[in-house]
Amino acid sequence: MDVATRWNSTHLMLDRAIIYREAFRQLAEVEACYQFCPNELEWERAELIRDFLAPFAEITNLISGSSYPTANLYFMQVWMIENWLRGNEFSGDEVICEMVASMKPKFDKYWEEYSDILAIAVVLDPRLKFACLEYCFTTLDASTSKTKVDHIRKKLKKLFDVYKKNTRKNVAGASRSNAAQTTLPGYDGFYAFISQNVGSNGKLALDKYLEEPILDMASFEKMDVLSYWKENANRFKELSAMGCDVLSIPITTVAS
């Protein structure tokens, strides 16, 4: 291993070394003091470990190399790693089995103490919404899936209520300052409520968003979700502000 807790670094090291496999072999033939050339079995193991570590390198590159916010992608990526570890838990290679044994407790802990706000970020991706959470939770543990999804629904509603309350206060303050220009005295608060909290079909912005069809991931693979919320500010009002805030949360990339 290159660095025991930097799996993407180890993947890069092995990937580059395998490219020069023949060069190492030739060096061993012409340089008598070179005693550490891997044999065929060791090269095969190196390829197995490289392939095993590939998903870890991919998630690191995705999160650190993206030019747009990735809070909505983090949850799904960690779920993919969890499934990958489960699939390799009983690998025929003892080194990979040992690596899984050391990695898995970290990811198991993540699923026990996953961040609510990162799960909410998934829901605020119009290509994923609650369907993604239901799928991920069910594949990991169907017996607790509904409880976890319901928990996130409550947290999402609670956060949305905070944004509604703050928006209403701001609108009320603006209404009072413009009272002298109001053509319908007494109605300014009512129309502010309609504008800020209810969509054109009479539904709350959150309900309206969740009921709309999920966007096709294949067609919107490169979507900048933060831009989506900015562009739909007039449709979703305070939900748009909430979406921008949640999706702007920086994800600290730690390869381990």
Looking at residue 197, its pLDDT comes to 53
CA 218 to chain centre: 17
The DSSP element (H or E) to which 131 belongs, if any, is helix 129-140
Residues 6+ away with beta carbon under 8 Å from 237: 167, 195, 196, 197, 199, 205
How many whole angstroms separate alpha carbon 82 and alpha carbon 70?
18
- Phi, psi dihedrals of residue 66, rounded to the nearest 5°: -70, 145
The model carries a pTM of 0.71
Q: What are the pLDDT digits (tens) for 109-118?
A: 777 777 788 8
What are the sequence ranges of the domains in the chain?
1-64, 66-247
How many whole angstroms separate alpha carbon 40 and alpha carbon 38?
7
Q: What are the pLDDT digits (tens) for 169-186?
A: 554 444 444 444 555 565
Using the predicted structure, report yes or no on whether residue 255 has a pLDDT greater than 90: no
Percentage of the chain with pLDDT > 90? 43
| Strongest mean pLDDT among 63-72, 80-89, 128-137, 192-201 | 128-137
